[in-house]
Amino acid sequence: MAETDIKVLKEKMDEASFAKLTAIQNDKLHAFITDAIQVCEPDNVWVSSDSDEDVEYTRKMAVKLKEEAELNIPGHTIHFDGPEDQGRDREVTRYLVPKGDSLSQSLNQCEREEGLSEIRSLLKGSMRGRTMVVRFMLLGPNDSDFSIPCVECTDSFYVSHALNLLYRLGYEDFKRLGEKADFQATMHSSGKVDERKTSVEVDKKRIYIDYSADTVYSVNTQYAGNTVGLKKLALRLTIRKADREGWLAEHMFLSGVHGPGGRKTYMAGAFPSACGKTSTAMLPGETILADDIAYFRAVDGKLMAVNAESGIFGIIQNVSAKNDPAIWDVLTKPGEVIFSNVLVKDGRPYWLGMGEDIPASGENFVGAWHEGMKDDKGNEIACAHKNARYAVALDALSNCDPELNNPNGIELKVIMYGGRDPKAYVPVQQSFDWDHGIVAYGAALETETTFATIGKEGVPEINLMSIQDFVAIPLGKYVENNIEFGKKLTNQPMIFGTNYFLRDADGKFLNGVRDKHVWVKWMELRVNGDVDAIETPTGFIPCYEDLKKIFKDVRDEEYTHEAYTAQFTIRVQANLDKMDRVEKFHHDHVDGVPRKVFEVFEAQRQRLLKAREKHGDMITPDALKK
């Protein structure tokens, strides 16, 4: 360790913290922490290890410093972010691009030196009067070839507490790896805060990703999606690492779905926020392995996967006892849970769509709240924010998959892509092959913007593979990596497209909220060769008799042929329009599009045109069976 680093560290740390840090033999790590101290100027620095005492200390400090408040149920706390700090902020989240380098024009970016100068000036002195917390975590299981060591320096004990719930502790892994620890780093400060400990200088909020140094900078924000560096911020860095090393980092859940004879089939799914991702990962009776970020590696011809995380930072809106029993159980019994931006009344949390009566007053993300309250623009303020969240460790859930921390991962048999598509794609369909699935379902994923991202809601957009916002390499290269990855697999998973948001001509949803379980059960049977399918121009769809049986077995409902026909009729013109929009997006916004993408699009267009000549614009499943 450099003498200058030793001097700075000793000045700010007590003997215990200095001993914990210097037990890690990594000069680059010491230099990063020294730099964070010199920039942010904390009064003191506390280093956390993996000990039970340190884990408990960070939780207690979050409450003591009033970043969180205890609720009635033991272990439950509430944290509030400011009114303008309620989601991932695209506008101020930027990649720092070195001179001579380039990223896709669709990605928010600025020149590296200019960006570093700006954000480091905003961070300068931001921790005066506070403690800097140094956390060592892992993306992926402990002692695994999949995993990436990470360090975060923050002045928020709430952020530190969230790390405890959402990721594996990594101090011992850092000690074991020493100089070999090729780590990612985050420097975060809440900036100026008010009496509620919420960031107040939202006009100076910045989240910058310096991908050339594997470092994230975040300032003047507390919302976990902007501050927990291991979340989507690290995903941007990990995608670059995966690109260099020949594996995939994906914005996907992992779930174990039970089939006949006691078998379990592992599935992954990519869904943009508020499109059914967590509810699909949490289907009753199945197991959850991951709800957000998965790493894929080809091992002996198999697709092996792990969860980069070990907890859930989930949207709480519409979580109810009826529809989400496993989550509801955790949210209503003793155990460690952080609620954020819900309504609190008499020590109890309330949220939108919970299926219970909501108090007429209480405290929420704006402060004291009452029914009918309006903001300065005259808009009524809801009792809780639509993007209110809960943070909980996965192993607190009764349906947590036992393979969560397997360092070798699990073998994946199914990949699904799903968005909000009101007019074109059917509720579930299987691709013709790997390339068709990656392109026609993944690279063509179309959705609508939701409340999880700051900005207008309900705006149609392409969200390529549900990862577009996080790709720090050319988008075309990312698609190509996915296509080429399939060539490494002798046991390729089947790829499916799902769409829970198909509507009829009157705008009525054609899917029930819980129908997704039927589609997933059909995938499980299909990938194991138990059911046939009908070939359509856009993929293979289920046969009516198979769905009728699954609806009865899973939902105890009678599934009518009329419902089947409405859901699985191929709408030719809507699909052609979709192909036009998606192809235009790739022409206009995706750098270096692989030729295979346009080949797949054109083949699908020709199949649709040929089918229309024979069957007309609305092609029923029965017509295709003949």
Catalytically active residues, by annotation = 275
Contact 101, 362 (CB under 8 A): no
Contact 534, 591 (CB under 8 A): no
Give φ, ψ of 316 to 5 degrees: -95, -15
Angle between helices 572-589 and 595-615 (to 10 degrees): 160
DSSP state of 363: E
Contact 547, 559 (CB under 8 A): yes
Contact 259, 524 (CB under 8 A): yes
Give the residue from 278, 279, 276, 283 showing the smallest Cα distance to 256. 283
CA–CA separation, 100 and 322 (whole Å)? 55
Contact 315, 387 (CB under 8 A): yes
Contact 351, 319 (CB under 8 A): yes
- Please count the other Cβ atoms lying within 10 Å of the Cβ belonging to residue 178: 12
Question: In terms of DSSP bridges, do strands 215-219 and 184-189 run parallel, antiparallel, or are they unpaired?
Answer: parallel
Give the residue from 510, 328, 307, 280 showing the smallest Cα distance to 412. 307
Spatial neighbors of 120 by CB under 8 A, at least 6 apart, are: 39, 217
CA–CA separation, 394 and 519 (whole Å)? 24
DSSP line for 451-472: TTBSS-SS-EEE-GGGTGGG--
Cα dihedral 524, 530, 535, 541, rounded to 10, equals -40
DSSP state of 503: B
CA–CA separation, 524 and 12 (whole Å)? 56
Give φ, ψ of 331 to 5 degrees: -80, -5
- Measure CA of the first residue to CA of the last residue in the chain; give whole Å: 75
Cα dihedral 34, 38, 40, 43, rounded to 10, equals 90
Contact 335, 319 (CB under 8 A): no
Token pair, residue 257, equals 């779905």
**Residue pointed to by tokens 């995903």:** 235
Written as one letter, the residue type at 286 is: E
Contact 235, 140 (CB under 8 A): no
Residues paired with residue 79 on neighbouring β-strands, in sequence order: 340
CA–CA separation, 62 and 574 (whole Å)? 51
Give the residue from 276, 269, 267, 188 showing the smallest Cα distance to 230. 188
CA–CA separation, 218 and 223 (whole Å)? 11
Written as one letter, the residue type at 19 is: A
